[in-house]
Amino acid sequence: MTIHREGRTFLLAVLLILAGINFTLWYLDVHIVFYLFLALSIVMMGLFTQFFRVPNRKLTNDPTLVVSPADGKVVVIEKVFEDEYLKEERIQVSVFMSPFNVHQNRVPVSGTVEYYKYHVGEYLVAYHPKSSQLNERNTAVITTAGGTKLLMRQIAGAVARRIRFYLKEGQKVEQGQELGFIKFGSRMDIFLPLDADIKVAIGDKTKAGVSILASLKE
């Protein structure tokens, strides 16, 4: 396990602040308060550290499969009309990430980034039905070697107000490659072809780069 680069400066800053407060409390000889705050500091550092962790994983590598781009829980599986870029009906699968999940996002299929756009938006709770259209978000389309286009969307939530997308239009990407990062809980949507064979159900837990969402017919 390693610590993601998005969290290293943050964790160092939090550690220094907490250490300073604990030292001050000890110096002022308020030992009961010191021990209580020390315990709180340890819990806080543990929570923040697990949030920014990047676990070692054996990634799925199969061009016929779509892997989950995020850790979390499947909260949506439904047919929708994708009106931003594809302009056609798709099966939307959404994965909700709680603050306790790993928040590194991964590429679901190998291919080429055909489209990318950042959208300024609101900060509704990520499981809100309209968050996919109204919240701050990144949208990207990856075209596979067989010509299938997959649209995916990183969505900020009520707490997550910093989303990072590391890929660029025209870039060739590999399944399981790092895609981006969302801080402190949010959601990822992926829009699959109607003939995709969905392999998950509502409530299933997923791991980015490992769990299979669907198989493709190419």
Q: What is the pLDDT of residues 100-139, one digit of tens each?
A: 888 889 999 999 999 999 988 665 555 555 556 667 889 9
Instruction: Mark whether 117 and 205 lie in a shared domain.
Output: yes
Instruction: Mark whether 147 and 73 lie in a shared domain.
Output: yes
DSSP 122: B
Domain contains 60: no
Stretches where the chain sits below pLDDT 70 are 7, 121-134, 157-161, 184-185, 218
Spatial CA neighbour of 141 closest among 90, 181, 197:
90
Instruction: Mark whether 24 and 112 lie in a shared domain.
Output: no
Instruction: Mark whether 123 and 189 lie in a shared domain.
Output: yes
Strands 172-173 and 104-106: unpaired
Instruction: Mark whether 96 and 10 lie in a shared domain.
Output: no
Instruction: Mark whether 131 and 177 lie in a shared domain.
Output: yes
Catalytic (active-site) positions:
186
Read off the CATH number of the domain in which 109 is found. 2.70.70.10
Instruction: Mark whether 95 and 118 lie in a shared domain.
Output: yes
Instruction: Mark whether 123 and 28 lie in a shared domain.
Output: no
In whole angstroms, give the CA distance from residue 136 to residue 26: 43
With 0.95 as the threshold, say if the pTM is over it.
no
Looking at residue 68, what is its pLDDT? 96
Domain contains 15: yes
Looking at residue 77, what is its pLDDT? 95
66 neighbors 176 (Cβ within 8 angstroms):
no
* Structural domain count, the chain: 2
Instruction: Mark whether 8 and 82 lie in a shared domain.
Output: no
- Burial bucket for residue 72 (CB in 10 Å: 0-12, 13-18, 19+): buried
Instruction: Mark whether 38 and 119 lie in a shared domain.
Output: no
Looking at residue 46, what is its pLDDT? 83
Looking at residue 81, what is its pLDDT? 95
Residue ranges making up the domain that contains 35: 2-54
Looking at residue 183, what is its pLDDT? 75
Looking at residue 101, what is its pLDDT? 86
In whole angstroms, give the CA distance from residue 4 to residue 54: 6
Looking at residue 115, what is its pLDDT? 96
Domain contains 59: no
Instruction: Mark whether 27 and 95 lie in a shared domain.
Output: no
Contacts (Cβ under 8 Å, ≥6 apart) of 119? 136, 137, 138, 139
Report in angstroms the alpha-carbon separations of 58 from 55, 176, 208. Answer: 10, 10, 11
Instruction: Mark whether 73 and 32 lie in a shared domain.
Output: no
Domain contains 107: yes
